[in-house]
Structure 1
């Protein structure tokens, strides 16, 4: 028999970001199967008393299990609390790793071995965790729901339409894209996403100076049809410069939309984009490299169409239905445990 209650701890939208969107989807699907309670860390971070109490109760109570979906800092905090104060409940709980950072030490990896299961997003992450001593790691990619209507690969015709669908910041490669747009006036460039604080004026000026660049604001990826929106374009641009880039959900979404990605070859992008098949990995982080690739693709629309088909065909590995069974099985197979107060501090 499974645990009487399961609490999902994580941050949820708004705001809309990689962690919050991933949590919203997983919570939505698990709550249709299990009796779930939610503790939204967005309210905990604001020090709202009722949510602080709910978090403490979830971490220290003897019954039930936890599903924890958090980024690196909160992962360390919650793991440490459970390891020190409630190992028994920890052994019934699941950690969903958000982002690409592996354990900083073997001691931290050993603490995470206290969980029933730790889910990471790629094979490369799994290997990195295991090299640090993790023994309970499995893979849950940055999943999305299967589109409600079948996606048709759009034929590349006329001017290439490129889309940037991330946090709009220099670290995510926005300057590289804008410089490439200035050199390729015959191509269209469309930006979606929140503009990083302190970068607004520079970005607005750059957009205003380029007739082929358009900014569409923040897209509601939870209630909106993100796949349908992305399907309007030909090429997705992801020239991120972030050294600790995790697994961006937008790459799963562009695959489902039948859109190839041009991405920088860093972090785990090489596992997500098959170079030359369903996208292209850049060899250097520069506008010149992006101009070279986009010029080549613009002159060969048939190749773009083949990449679109390959992207769509590879999207199945990111459909959440393919992974829910193993997570619910982990929780459903738990035996009820009744522990003494002493067990909580063992």
Structure 2
């Protein structure tokens, strides 16, 4: 059927999960659910294959309805093909890299994007940046399907581990995510509050190039009242049950491509207030003294101060943070974002 919807993106076949592949699969699952059997997928992973390039060329030529979610490597190829065949697509941007990418002299790609793609980005600030270079876009925030936890049950789970102050991170374990800054800052806090026990658990795929430096940092900043543990991969289906018992989610990123990470939705949906760097678009999601705290990016001293403040909160103030997290998370639930997608006719055959 020529009028089938084709979703083109990195589905991560055989490569494991990351923010790119998780969101691609989430978007595809929603589209397929709403359009029944009218939706098919094209996986851009391993796009170096000549046979796969030719198949992609055939797909773009053959069909008329597209949703695309390319990263930087696949975007030029898709921009070229859609421009040549004069086809239209809804482009759901994953991450925050597109405005900076297009600010560099890439006139053909900008022209192709402007004329052939309807662009959906994750934050309002991204739309503002794109407008400045003459590209119109719309906001479609990151989203997930999750269980809507009750405040009382979340607080009960946290009480089970009340002898420690428990911090957590979930995501790619790479240098630019700022994890060494977090470990350093927690070491400073633990040194100043020796009567408290601190725990920092880190989940996610560990980059081989960062492994040695990461493990050395854990050894270097080890102390009697601070335990830092790398806990490997946690599946999306287990993320809420894993996170709910933690006191705070640490997100010290200074990654250049950061947009609206799905891990922040996971944290809020699990009732875990977020301590994040004031980097890129974090301030649109994390509101200081509401659902978490922001600190000056790359500043270990500022992070130390925020961490010191975080565990000294009164029970009422902490409860308010948890409550706001659960409320804010609902904004990014699939059910709500689906309404925005309906407005833009994503589900119309």
Q: TM-score with structure 2 length normalisation?
A: 0.84
Specify every segment of 5 or more residues in structure 1 that has no aligned partner in the other structure, as ranges: 335-346
Specify every segment of 5 or more residues in structure 2 that has no aligned partner in the other structure, as ranges: 191-196
Structure 2 counterpart of 1:41: 44
Of structures 1 and 2, the one scoring higher in RCO (CA 8 A, sep 6+) is 1
Report if aligned partners of 1:95, 1:115 keep a CA contact under 8 Å in 2.
no
Report if aligned partners of 2:254, 2:297 keep a CA contact under 8 Å in 1.
no
Structure 2 counterpart of 1:31: 32
How far apart are residue 253 of structure 1 and its match?
Answer: 1.1
Counterparts of 1:123 and 1:147, CA distance in 2: 26
Structure 1 counterpart of 2:5: 6
2:330 equivalent among 316, 322, 336? 316
Counterparts of 1:115 and 1:322, CA distance in 2: 27
Report if aligned partners of 1:69, 1:95 keep a CA contact under 8 Å in 2.
yes
Report if aligned partners of 1:106, 1:132 keep a CA contact under 8 Å in 2.
no
Give the number of aligned pairs: 323
Counterparts of 2:54 and 2:346, CA distance in 1: 24
Structure 2 counterpart of 1:194: 205
How far apart are residue 127 of structure 1 and its match?
Answer: 1.4
Structure 2 counterpart of 1:232: 245
Q: TM-score with structure 1 length normalisation?
A: 0.85
- Spell out, residue by residue over 1:111-145, the C-alpha distance to the aligned partner (whole angstroms, 9 max, x if none): 2222352110011111112222123x221111111
Matches of residues 303-342 of structure 1 in structure 2 within 5 Å? 303-327=317-341, 330-331=345-346, 333=348
Structure 1 counterpart of 2:71: 71
How far apart are residue 78 of structure 1 and its match?
Answer: 1.0
Counterparts of 2:308 and 2:177, CA distance in 1: 21
How far apart are residue 259 of structure 1 and its match?
Answer: 1.0
Structure 2 counterpart of 1:220: 235
Bigger shift: residues 241-250 or 148-157: 148-157
What is the SS of the residue equivalent to 1:206? helix
- Spell out, residue by residue over 1:208-240, the C-alpha distance to the aligned partner (whole angstroms, 9 max, x if none): 56361111102222xx22122111211010111
Report if aligned partners of 2:171, 2:263 keep a CA contact under 8 Å in 1.
yes
How far apart are residue 18 of structure 1 and its match?
Answer: 0.8
Report if aligned partners of 1:181, 1:212 keep a CA contact under 8 Å in 2.
no
Counterparts of 2:149 and 2:307, CA distance in 1: 30
Task: Please tell me the root mean square deviation across aligned C-alpha atoms, in Å.
Answer: 2.4
2:264 is aligned with 1:261:
no
Report if aligned partners of 1:23, 1:69 keep a CA contact under 8 Å in 2.
yes
- Spell out, residue by residue over 1:246-294, the C-alpha distance to the aligned partner (whole angstroms, 9 max, x if none): 2111011111111111111110011111112111110252332222211
